[in-house]
Amino acid sequence: MTLLDGKKLAEEIKLEIKAEVDQMLASGKRAPHLAAVLVGQNPASKAYVSTKIKFCEDVGYGSTLITEDENVTEERLLSIIDDLNQNDAIDGYIVQLPLPRHIDEERINLAIRPEKDVDGFHPMNFGKMAQGMEAFLPATPYGILEMLRRYQIPTEGKHCVVLGRSNIVGGPMSILMSRKGYPGNCTVTLTHSKTRDIGGELRRADIIIAAIGIPGYVKADMIKEGAVVIDVGINRVQDASKKSGFGLTGDVDFAQIKDKCSFISPVPGGVGPMTVTALMLNTLKAAKKIH
């Protein structure tokens, strides 16, 4: 079994990005600039956003963090988005999800200018992605593609089973793995809560992408010998051995399946670091388009 070391890959890509930023600065251009909008006090959202800002600092990007109170109005958020859309000093931005219940996420998403939508959530980018056109790919699927590419994992003609149909991970991932090209050219099965026999589907998979948010869901008897397993789950579970009292665990039972699969991404240290890296690659792309 080979461990898909997302942390190490992310460090490598970080150096590549930094070299590109240095080149941009040397040729008289400004550094790429990412903005993030964070609403409320959700601890996971705060942690994700600070990781993104820290990454910006590490590679030499400019960054802007806009924080708003939990009670912010939708009109106020739309006005922030309008400013970001028009501000030429900002190449790309994200609105961290989830938003409070009184805010219509769909309306917010539609207001983001597609050229600055480095999360790749706007239907314009999603549609282009689905048609194989140049687009910002959503960060987690993009990070997974980069992981498959850099570990040179063959995908052509393989049977890929995706677990979960979210707009952010499972949905786009199923499209990307079936697209022409590499990584891609898979036969894809997209499974979800209404799938009759998830175990039966998984047992036929050469590549499994697990994104359902249930800790340890995928067990050894659900996978075939030599499968490639990408674990997207980031589940907070109680862990008395940790100072904080909790730890992170994935959607697959790592201890059970590690000796049965050919490749596996660990949690933490697998897909997570690749997601942030992919967002930074999108920001670089956004900046290059403008300059």
CA distance 23 to 280: 16
> What are the backbone dihedrals phi and psi of residue 204, each rounded to the nearest 5 degrees, phi first?
-90, 0
Nearer to ligand GUN, 81 or 222 (CB): 81
Residues that bind ligand GUN (CB under 6 A): 94-97, 119, 139
Number of residues that make up the chain: 291
Nearer to ligand GUN, 31 or 97 (CB): 97
Residue nearest to ligand GUN (CB): 97
Q: What DSSP line would sit under 77-138, residue for residue?
A: HHHHHHHHHH-TT--EEEE-SPPPTTS-HHHHHHHS-GGGBTT--SHHHHHHHHTT-S-PPP
Work out the number of other CB atoms within 10 angstroms of the CB of residue 106: 9
The answer for residues whose C-beta is within 8 angstroms of residue 129's C-beta and 6 or more apart is 120, 135, 137, 138, 172, 175, 176
Shortest Cβ 136–ligand GUN spacing (Å): 12
Shortest Cβ 162–ligand GUN spacing (Å): 17
Query: Are the CB atoms for 170 and 209 separated by under 8 Å?
Result: yes
Nearer to ligand GUN, 92 or 184 (CB): 92
Nearer to ligand GUN, 198 or 209 (CB): 209
Shortest Cβ 120–ligand GUN spacing (Å): 9
How, if at all, do strands 228-231 and 92-95 pair?
Answer: unpaired
Shortest Cβ 98–ligand GUN spacing (Å): 7
CA distance 113 to 106: 14
Nearer to ligand GUN, 119 or 206 (CB): 119
Burial of 279 (0-12, 13-18, 19+ CB in 10 A): buried
- Give bridge partners of residue 2 from the DSSP assignment: 263
Query: Are the CB atoms for 288 and 23 separated by under 8 Å?
Result: no
Nearer to ligand GUN, 168 or 257 (CB): 168
The catalytic residues are: 52, 96, 119
Work out the number of other CB atoms within 10 angstroms of the CB of residue 134: 9
Shortest Cβ 97–ligand GUN spacing (Å): 4
Q: What DSSP line would sit under 143-169, residue for residue?
A: HHHHHHHHTT---TT-EEEEE---TTT
